[in-house]
Amino acid sequence: MPETPTTDGPTVLHVGGASPYDVVVGRSLLDRLPELIGGGVQQVALLYAGDLEQQAQRVAESLIDSYDVLALGLPDGESAKSAAVANDCWEALGERNFTRSDVVVTLGGGATTDLGGFVAASWLRGVRVVHIPTTLLAMVDAAVGGKTGINTGAGKNLVGAFHEPAGVLCDLEFLDTLPADELVAGLGEVVKCGFIADPEILRLVEAGPDAARDPRSPVLRELVERSIRVKIDVVVADLKETGGLDGHPGREALNYGHTMAHAIERATGYAIRHGEAVAIGSIFVAELARAAGVIDDELADRHRTAFASVGLPVAWSGEAGFDDLLATMAVDKKSRGSQLRFVVLDELAKPRILAGPDEAHLRAAYAAITRSA
C-alpha cells in the first residue's frame, strides 16, 4: 500500500480498490482540504456536529473563496442519525440545487460521519463526500471504509449504504481539545484492531497506556495510523462484507465485539459511548470463545487487561437482562435468518465466524461481563 513514512509532516495512507482515495493523518491539515474536494466543484455542503460551530466556521472560511458553502448544523451524537435529520439535509440540498458535481464535507464524530455519508450516498444516488473526523473513534472507524447509515427503532445502522469517501482528513489537532473520556472511548476501536489484526497495537497500549491517552504523543499517532491501516487492508479486500479468503471473515472482522455492543447501546438509549460498548462487547465474545473452547484463558484474560489499561470498562452493570439483549442481537445486521453470528478469535489476530453458538455459552459470557460490574 503506497504511503509516506510517519514524520512531523502528514502521513498519506492510500485506499485502493474501485474508488481509490487518500486518508491524510497529521496536524494543521486544513489547507489540504481543497485537493481532497477536487476540481469542478461549485458548492460544498458542510454538515457539522452542532457543538462544533466554531470549528465549522474555520472550515467554512477556508473554503469560501473557492466554493459556495452551505453550512448545516446537526444534532449532537446518535440523535443526528435519524430519517428526519437526513430528510432535513435533503431538503436543504434541494433548495440550493445541489448537483452531482458538488461535494458534501462532514465535520464531527462518528454519528456525523455516518449521517453525512448517508446523505451524500442517497442524494442524486451518490455525490462525493470528504470526511473530517474530529474524534479518535471517527478517525479510526467511521470515516474510513464507506459504511454510512442511520438508526431506526429496531436498532443501530439498519438503514444505510456503502459509499466510499473522496478523501479523509484526520487532523490530530482536533484531539487536543477532545474530552479525555471521549478520547479513551475511541481507544475501544483501537484495541479491537490489535486483537483482530495487529498485535503491535496491543504491545504499544500495554507498554504505554498513558502515552496512548495523550493526544500529542507519537504513540497515539502511531496507534491511529496502525488502526487505519488495519481497516484499509480489510476494506480493500472486502468492501461490501461478502466474506474473505481462507476462512477469514473479511470485513465482518471489523465487527468484533459489535453485536453485543450495539445491543448494549440500544438498551441504554445510547447513553454509553460506542467505544466503551465495543470494549465490553469484545470481552463478551472473548468469554464466549472461552466457553466454547475456541481460545485459551490467557488470550481471553488479555482482553480485560488490555482494555482496562487505558481506562475502558471491562464489565457492564446489566441494565438489560440476557433475554432482552439476545432479542436485540437477533436483529443485528450480522445475523442470518434466526442464526446468531459472532466474530471470535481462533488465536490472536486470527478472527473467524462462530455461527449459532450454544445458548449456555452465550449465557456464560453474559454472566462473565456482568459478574464484576
- Decide if pLDDT at 1 tops 50: no
Please state the rounded mean pLDDT for residues 114-140. 98
Active-site residue flag, 241: yes
In this prediction, residues 56-85 reach a mean pLDDT of 96
Q: Tens digit of pLDDT for each residue in 29-47? A: 999 999 999 999 999 999 9
Reported as a pLDDT band with limits 50, 70 and 90, residue 241 is confident
Q: Label residue 264 by pLDDT band (50, 70, 90).
A: very high
Residues 6+ apart with CB under 8 A from 215: 172, 175, 176, 178, 183
Q: 373 pLDDT exceeds 70?
A: no
Continuous H helices in 1-145? 33-37, 53-63, 83-95, 110-122, 136-137
Lowest mean pLDDT among 1-5, 222-226, 290-294, 307-311: 1-5
Whether 189 has a binding-site annotation, put simply, is: yes
Give the integer Cα–Cα distance in Å for 280 and 261.
7
- Residue among 96, 105, 113 nearest 147 (CA): 113
More confident position, 170 or 246: 170
**Any binding-site annotation on 81?**
yes
Residue 52 counted as an annotated binding residue: no
pLDDT at 6 over 60: no
Give whole-number Cα distances, 316 to 162, 247, 299, 347, in Å. Answer: 32, 32, 20, 25
The pLDDT of residue 288: 98
Average pLDDT over residues 34-63: 96
SS3 269: coil
Catalytic residue among 157, 163, 164, 189: 189
Specify whether 147 is catalytic: yes
Q: Does the pLDDT value for residue 335 go beyond 70?
A: no
Q: 303 catalytic, yes or no?
A: no
* Whether residue 255 lies in the annotated active site: yes
Active site residue 273: no
How far is C-alpha 207 from the geometric centre of its chain's CA atoms?
24
Return mean pLDDT, the chain.
94
Catalytically annotated residue among 262, 266, 303, 361: 262
- 192 among annotated binding-site residues: no
Residue 152 assigned ligand-binding role: no
User: Taking 90 as the threshold, does the pLDDT of residue 179 lie above it?
Assistant: yes
Tell me if 79 is assigned to a ligand binding site: yes
Question: Of 128, 151, 255, 273, which is the active-site residue?
Answer: 255
Domains and CATH numbers, the chain: 11-177 (3.40.50.1970), 180-370 (1.20.1090.10)
Is 231 tagged catalytic? yes
78 is in an annotated binding site: yes
| Mean pLDDT, residues 333-359 | 88
Q: For residues 167-183, give the mean pLDDT.
A: 97
Whether the predicted pLDDT of 89 surpasses 90: yes
State the Cα–Cα distance between residues 51 and 265, nearest whole angstrom.
Answer: 22
Say what percent of the chain tops pLDDT 70: 96
Alpha-carbon span 279 to 262, nearest angstrom = 11
Residue 319 — very low, low, confident or very high, per pLDDT cuts 50/70/90? confident
- Residue 99 annotated as part of some ligand binding site: no
Could you tell me the three cell numbers for 130?
470528504
C-alpha cell at position 2: 503506497
Grid look-up 488465536 returns 347
pLDDT at 371: 80
135 is known to lie in a ligand binding site: yes
Say which of 226, 231, 273, 304 is annotated catalytic.
231
Please state, as a whole number, how many other Cβ atoms lie within 10 Å of the Cβ of residue 339. 10
Active-site entry in 192, 213, 229, 251: 251
**361 among known catalytic residues:** no
Can you give the pLDDT at residue 372?
Answer: 63
**Where does the pLDDT of residue 3 fall: very low under 50, low under 70, confident under 90, or very high at 90 and above?**
very low
pLDDT, position 337? 61
Does position 199 have pLDDT exceeding 90, yes or no? yes
CB contact at 8 A, 139 and 133: yes
What is the pLDDT at residue 154? 86
Q: How confident is the model at residue 146 (pLDDT cuts 50, 70, 90)?
A: very high
Strand, helix or coil for residue 301? helix
More confident residue, 48 or 142: 48
Residue 189 annotated among the catalytic residues of the structure: yes
> Is residue 128 over pLDDT 60?
yes
